[in-house]
Structure formats: structure tokens, C-alpha cells
Copies of this chain bind each other. A is one copy, B any other.
Amino acid sequence: MVQRRGFTVFLTGLSGAGKSTIADVLIEALESSGRDVSVLDGDVVREMLSSGLTFSRADRDLNIRRIGWVAGEIVRHGGAVVVAAIAPYDEAREEARKLVDRYGTFVLVHVATSLEVAEQRDVKGLYARARAGTIGQFTGVSDVYELPSSPDVTVDGSVGTPADAAQQILDHLTAKGLLD
């Protein structure tokens, strides 16, 4: 039986950049085309994979390594995965790439919404709390976000709609021969 080539779309960017919104549109488009998708976003990961981890660098790295490993095992069987995670460290993202590339294709999408725009939105009120000092180690405010050294796609959540960004990713997947 011929197996489809599995792939993982990994959206990285600041809190409030629009990762989950873009992921939702992307997932809906993939499922409409008959492709089931495993979603590894903040909530499910925190609940199912990484409960108990902190926001220290070591724990963040472990979190991304776990996500990468699970994504790799799914891709191995021809599955499609969408990850939405801040994932501020380039080395951890590239380690996730390696764990997936063994078995399929890893597509790193930088949701490059600026800090100003993300902070202005502040949908969850987290930036306000970070500025007030009631949240420590908050990416973009009191902790670093390393720009991706080798993104496969870059979208800007402050320009165009989430649907535009999702289409840009779908176009990339099509160009790579990953969609039917």
C-alpha cells in the first residue's frame, strides 16, 4: 500500500502573533481536502505532553523536543501535524526539524508579527501582566525570542488576513508535492 508523505507545519512566533488563528484556518483547509491532522498546540501539549514543565530554558527545550519527537512518530506513518508554539529558541526548533525530517517533511513557519502589534492586541492580557512583572520569563518582554535562522515560510500576522497566511503555507505544501 502506498503511503502519503507525512509532514509537520511548525508555527513559531510571539504570544499573540496569530499562530493559533492561522493554524485553525490551515487545519480546516487540510481537513476539507480529506487530510486528517494531528494538532499539537499550546493547550493540548500543556495538558497531554508537558504538564509540570516550567518556562525555564531547559523545560522549554524539553517541551519542543517532545513535540518534535511526537510529530516525527506521526509523520513516520504518513500523518499530517500542525504545531503552534512560541518556541523561542532556534536550536530547539532545528532539533524538532531533525526529529521530523527522519521520516517526512518539516516546514518551519515564522509568524513574524511584530512585538508592537502582538502587544497591542494582547488578547489574553499576558503582555500587561508581563510588563507589570507578575509573569516572569515572558517571551518578547523579559525573555528572548531568537529569530528563525532557516524558516521555510514567513508570514506576518499584522499584514493581511489569517486566511492569506494559511494560503501561503498551503501554497508551500503544494509546491513541495505534499498535498494531493
Contact = CB atoms under 8 A, between A and B. Distances in A.
Contact of A38 (B36, B62, B65, B77): B77
Contacts of A2: 1
Contact of A70 (B51, B65, B70, B180): B70
Contacts of A69: 48-49
B1 A38 contact: no
Interface string A140-180: 00000000000000000000000000000000000000001
Contacts of A73: 38, 70, 74, 79
Please tell me how many copies of the chain the complex holds: 2
Contacts of A62: 51
Contact of A77 (B1, B6, B65, B180): B6
Contacts of A52: 52-53
A78 B48 CA distance: 21
Nearest to A38: B73
Interface residues of A, number: 24
A169 to B, nearest CB: 19
Contact of A76 (B48, B76, B79, B180): B79
A180 B78 CA distance: 18
Given A36-B76, A70-B70, 20 more contacts: A1-B2, A6-B77, A36-B77, A38-B73, A38-B76, A38-B77, A48-B69, A49-B49, A49-B69, A49-B70, A51-B62, A52-B52, A52-B53, A73-B79, A74-B77, A77-B78, A77-B80, A78-B78, A78-B79, A79-B79
Interface of A: 1-2, 4, 6, 36, 38, 48-49, 51-53, 62, 65-66, 69-70, 73-74, 76-80, 180
